[in-house]
Amino acid sequence: MSDLKVVVEPGRQDIVITRTFDAPREAVFAAMTDPDSIARWWGLDDTDTRIDIADVRAGGRWRFVESAPDGAEYGFRGVFHEVAAPERMVQTFEFEGMPGHVSMDTYTLEERDGRTLYTSVSVFQSVEDRDGMVASGMESGLKQSLDALEKLVAERA
């Protein structure tokens, strides 16, 4: 059972997400940074994800494309600012369908008794950008992706 928590406080520019994975943080970090693994868990359940770029290092770029059943494609991209395996990553996030609306995302993984506490803090350029992300259905897509990540790391345990 997922313990996903999404905290969106009124008037703030951030979203704080926590979830526990039943796997060591090295396994979770590996799945979050390996292009073949990312393609298996990132995105919605009914889409396929193609990894165009995954240069996971400080200064490296990433670009993922989700393909919907109707053939529509949705691109996402960013730049890695910090990668400290297996405990932390900092990157930008931008949906290509709405260029210029960029968030700065910090992911931390904490080992707790063989399990991993995942924390994501996304800081947006404005409260309006943050609220737009929330209104887009982000929480449903996030849950689908993180559930798929849980399944992937469980298969590898």
How does the average pLDDT of the chain come out, rounded?
96
Residue 46 and residue 28 in contact, taking contact as beta carbons nearer than 8 Å: no
User: 37-50: per-residue pLDDT in tens?
Assistant: 999 999 999 999 99
Handedness of CA 38, 40, 41, 42 (dihedral sign): positive
* H-helix segments, 46-109: none
pLDDT of residue 107: 98
For 125, which DSSP code?
S
Rounded Cα distance, 56 and 77, in Å: 12
Q: Which of 100, 83, 81 is nearest to 92 (CA)?
A: 81
Handedness of CA 40, 42, 43, 44 (dihedral sign): positive
User: 3-17: per-residue pLDDT in tens?
Assistant: 999 999 999 999 999
Rounded Cα distance, 34 and 36, in Å: 6
